[in-house]
């Protein structure tokens, strides 16, 4: 999250500019065309959780602490939290967490759907990071164009009705048909070998 001691010294116009820049950075993360995984091994509150919410997948240690705590400071989440948290865990529960400024640990975060995976913290303090890397390794062998357009189809489809979403999926699928990777995938399957994708 933000450095609150620094924030206290800012003029109100500086705060608006700071939050606007933070929001833009978080939105850039959300709009990356490749899969993004947030690994939360410690504390992610306020802007830290908003950044994690902008990622496709979130992994946390059971001892991690997460929350949108801005109402404690008489402000609201300004980096997308009021929009992304309800989409992740549902409107009612998101309101409860934001209104109360409550933090949750990794276990509770998993139970409410805030994170995809919870792991016991290790001695090095990087258990979530290691789990995130393992997930990334599962994504790497897949066709890069397919992964990119699948992310696009999911992200755009979640913002519209089902019929429109299915049309988005159809348009995204069409982008994979002329690729060399699609042909390589079929050949690799036929020849019983791992595919060698090039993102073409």
Task: Please check the confidence at residue 12 and state whether its pLDDT lies above 80.
Answer: no
Mean pLDDT of 155-159: 94
The pLDDT of residue 2: 60
Domains along the sequence of the chain with CATH: 4-140 (3.90.226.10), 144-191 (1.10.12.10)
The pLDDT of residue 190: 96
Q: How confident is the model at residue 19 (pLDDT cuts 50, 70, 90)?
A: confident
Strands 65-67 and 104-105: antiparallel
Please name the residue ranges forming H helices in the chain.
Answer: 4-8, 12-30, 47-53, 81-89, 91-100, 106-111, 127-139, 144-157, 162-176, 180-190
For the record, the structure tokens of 132 come out as: 């995130």
Would the pTM count as exceeding 0.75? yes
| Residues designated as active site | 2, 47, 50, 70
Task: Please check the confidence at residue 1 and state whether its pLDDT lies above 70.
Answer: no
Mean pLDDT of 22-37: 95
Integer Cα distance of 16 and 79 in angstroms? 11
The pLDDT of residue 174: 97
Mean pLDDT of 41-59: 97
């Amino acid at each position: 999250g933000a450095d609150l001691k620094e924030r206290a010294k800012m003029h109100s116009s500086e705060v608006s500019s700071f939050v606007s820049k933070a929001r833009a950075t978080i939105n850039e993360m959300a709009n990356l065309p490749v899969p993004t995984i947030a690994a939360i091994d410690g504390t992610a509150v306020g802007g830290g959780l908003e950044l994690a919410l902008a990622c496709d997948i979130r992994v946390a240690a059971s001892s991690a602490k997460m929350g949108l705590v801005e109402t404690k400071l008489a402000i609201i989440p300004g980096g997308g939290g009021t929009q992304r948290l309800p989409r992740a865990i549902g409107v009612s529960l998101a309101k409860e967490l934001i209104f109360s400024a409550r933090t949750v640990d990794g276990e509770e975060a998993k139970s409410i759907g805030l994170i995809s995976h919870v792991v016991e913290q290790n001695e090095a303090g990087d258990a979530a990071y290691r789990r995130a890397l393992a997930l990334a390794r599962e994504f790497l062998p897949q066709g890069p164009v397919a992964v990119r357009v699948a992310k696009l189809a999911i992200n755009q489809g979640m913002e519209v009705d089902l019929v429109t979403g299915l049309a988005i999926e159809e348009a995204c699928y069409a982008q994979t048909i002329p690729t060399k990777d699609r042909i390589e995938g079929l050949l690799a399957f036929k020849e019983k070998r791992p595919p060698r994708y090039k993102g073409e």
